[in-house]
Amino acid sequence: MNNESKTSREMAVLPTSRIIGLGAMGWISMLGIDFFLHASLLAKLYAQPSPFLLPPEDAFRLIPIGYLSFLLLDVLILWLIIKLEITGWQRGLSFGLTIGGLIWGAMALGLLSISTASPSLMLGWFAGQSVELGVAGAVIGSGLSGTSLRKILVRVIVLILVLVVATIIMQNTGFIAKVYFTDRI
């Protein structure tokens, strides 16, 4: 039996609980990266007045809707990775980055063509959301290659903890504002 047909058979009999677990961990990893991205790297862009963005208080209140949109993207990437029989964290990461780049690249260009969104914000969204889908792809691909769900969960928790700590440090030291942003953005 060749490797390809074995993979096809293994993918065909994936337990529903494993699929749901991988999807949940992919989504949670996306949320951790999103928190880091928006609460640190892009935070100054949200603080500037913009006719494109809601006031920060309103946007903060609506975060759950944004996180549901990531759930839909997570379901899409999970479905595609299973259908295309992509296994391994490297292949999952590559696939996720590609899909993320295509989706968010198209969205950023589209928004730039019809809105007052700043190019800096669109570039940040493009890069950040592409990485989010890449990491979700790595999580899902790893799980489809046979890595235990417990091992993946530990890695996702460690990733989120590192990102939360990094965000808190960056917010409290002003590091991001001092090093990466100027008043010209």
**What secondary structure does DSSP assign to 63-78, as a single string?**
HHHHHHHHHHHHHHHH
Q: pLDDT tens across 107-120, in order?
A: 999 999 999 999 99
Token digits for 175? 């590091």
pTM given for the model = 0.86
Q: pLDDT tens across 58-114, in order?
A: 888 999 999 999 999 999 999 999 999 999 999 999 999 999 999 999 999 999 999
Q: How confident is the model at residue 2 (pLDDT cuts 50, 70, 90)?
A: very low
Residue with tokens 């490797």: 3
Between vectors from CA 91 to CA 146 and to CA 98, what angle results, nearest 5°? 140
Choose among 113, 125, 151, 101: nearest CA to 45.
125
